[in-house]
Structure 1
Amino acid sequence: MSQPGRLRSRGAWLLGAALLAVATLAQATQIDGVASRVGFSLTTRWGQVLEGRFPTVHGEVEELPDGRHQVRLLLSTRDVEIVGHPGYTRFTRGGGFFDADHWPQVEFLSDAYAPALLQHGGALAGTLRIRGVHRREVFEIAPAGCALPGRDCDVVATGTIHRGDYGMDRWKFAVSADVGFSLRMRVRGGAGA
């Protein structure tokens, strides 16, 4: 092949790679951190239910080449709070629980799922990372109340984890071992989550 032919071929390959990269980036929809709500609950030994929340939420929903979706959710442990209880907030951010100084984020990476899951509801499995520990967890998605879940209405999910599985084992005598999560997620633009 002549030099001009090789250059055209290489240029076409680079252009194709660039278009593929742009198309891949265009398939990701950002999670709306302002409109989304991620909370959790703990029960004390005395029966008091403590409501927690993650004020800082980031992430994206990626449309995969086969049409399925995958969500990556990032939650800041440095901002986590127990609503109305500054003492419990310090405990939750501290070394015995989320250990925000060493592990500033909780991350969930879902398995690939069909968009119909958000319409009809069902189980969404994935990998949850807390304090550097990766574990498989399952969250239950509620059936949608609109045509474009995540955009026109919240995607609602719940799940329970055992905090000892993630090394959050201090204060066992005072706080229950189970942590219940509740998520109400929205995306910015796009066709939904």
Structure 2
Amino acid sequence: MNTRTLGDHLIAPDATRGEQLLCYGTALLGSAGAVALAIRADLSLLAVAVIAFVAFDLCGGAVVNATASAKRHFHRPGRTARHHLAFVAIHVQPFLLALVVPDFGWLSAAALYALALLGAVFVLVVPAALRLPAGFAFVTLAFLIPLGLPAVLAWVAPVLLIKLLLAHLQPAGSPA
């Protein structure tokens, strides 16, 4: 009988203790920091709760996607560019934030979501040897685009793009 653990679901099957500590620690600290910013910005309890959830996922996920266990899982045989693009597409957190944070407009949410999808397509279509530098090139240039995010959520775009383009889309042993 194969019993899966919480770590198998939130990180990856066979995540090491060190990977789990880094991932959960970053998720908790990122969430705590984002909550502190949200409380300081005097946001509603609902907004604080959604921000806590999103920060836990994005901050922890950026580290998760960089672990060897997640690389083995997400880049196992049979995984295609379509799987990776779908993983990026399910990251609708900008829209969740737009629902609850008054100064986070729908246009900003759509722009950030589109930027993540465009970046994923770019990284996935370049030759494998260029995927890592292409990811860095896209993320670096994306940081120059004014998305109109409220200051309390200034961390969302960089962490989302790091999680998806620099961590998830890069297989283990990416050429540098």
TM-score (ref. length: structure 1): 0.30
Relative to total residues, which structure has the larger strand share, 1 or 2?
A: 1
- Between structure 1 and structure 2, the one with the greater Rg is 1
TM-score by length of structure 2 reads 0.32
Relative contact order (C-alpha < 8 Å, sep 6+): which is higher? 2
